[in-house]
Structure 1
Amino acid sequence: MGKLETNKKVKKNALLQNAFELFTDKGFAKTTISDIVSRAGLAKGTFYLYFKDKYDLRDKLIVYKAGQLFCDAYKALVSQPMNGFEQELLFVADYIIERLKKDHSLLQFLAKNLSWGIFRTAFSSNVPKESEEFYDYYLRMLKKNHIGCKDPELMLFTIIELINATCYNCILFEEPVTIDEYLPYLHLSIIQIFRAFTVEASAIPANTI
């Protein structure tokens, strides 16, 4: 990566990170573009080199933060010996839960803003590569373990939504129980979702995943 591209990435990341801090501190509605660029130490015109408006930034920030979380989970996963895809899936879930237990701001931000429409943009060519990587990793994990899945995108979203909602209630409010008490049931639910979406690879066309 050349110096120009590096500088662009640094500026864009500065806008994303400072927007995240402002959104979680002040709230999305009360945060202005001027607030974001001022905190990032950039000119207002720089903002429009990367984002159409505040809503575009928010949507890309959700994808960016979710992408970071899953990329980090994958990097942790590859250093651990696992016995099959189900164990890998639970490892990733536990990694995410531990991160959200430590970072309530991130948990609140994702829980409030992550939606199906926004989530789907993570799989398009219109977002930064680093925000797409976790989905590529996920598909490779399926292939590596010879798992057939007719709709891997929908399976991943279903699992994420379950983790998202569970963490929001159990971590922030300890309702109906703490996340540690609920974790065994969450594991069982994730495995059931996985088995509902998947079949033996030999039972479906080779190009399904």
Structure 2
Amino acid sequence: MYRMFPALALLAAVPLAGCGAAKPAEPPLAGARIGGAFTLVDQNGKTVRDSDFAGKYRIVYFGYTYCPDVCPTDMAKIGQAMTLLEKQAPAVAARVVPIFITVDPERDTPAAVKQFVANFHPRIVGLTGSPEAIAAVAKNYAIYFKKQPPAPGGGYMVDHVAIAYLMGPNGEPIATLPIDQDGKAIAAQVQHWVR
């Protein structure tokens, strides 16, 4: 169901190569064309723009609330990472906003997103919007997604890339985070890059 395309697989591997090493001068995704302006709706029904997060580092993850396995697992790891950072490096944690953006806006209303993100960490911002707005932000973040044909029972799955980006305080891409590992590994990468 989830595909990691070769170029994205390479991006996902880059930050891991530097684990435990001295901080490199330039982040792995420096200069990449990832990110950009958006206007979406948060889990409370409020309009949210990318500029609302100015000055904050962001963990950005795309998924959907009806996802049977990968999305809840990845979001749990991001929540664990935030909890670890709050205990071990509260100044770093205070500078980070975890953001979940749905790729299933037809079902993921603000209320559905609110219920979903509440399971993982109280500071996660859940975002939804029109299909057009979601398609635009996914394109800006190089996120592939595709709604699958309905199952016999009427439900459907959404194929998408499972990746978490660490974005900088000006919205610039820094690195992909190791969501294939655990919350501790994610927290270590965040702490490595957040200045």
Q: Please report the TM-score for the alignment, with normalisation by the length of structure 2.
A: 0.24
Larger Rg: 1
Q: Which has the higher helix share?
A: 1
Greater RCO, CA 8 A, separation 6+: 2
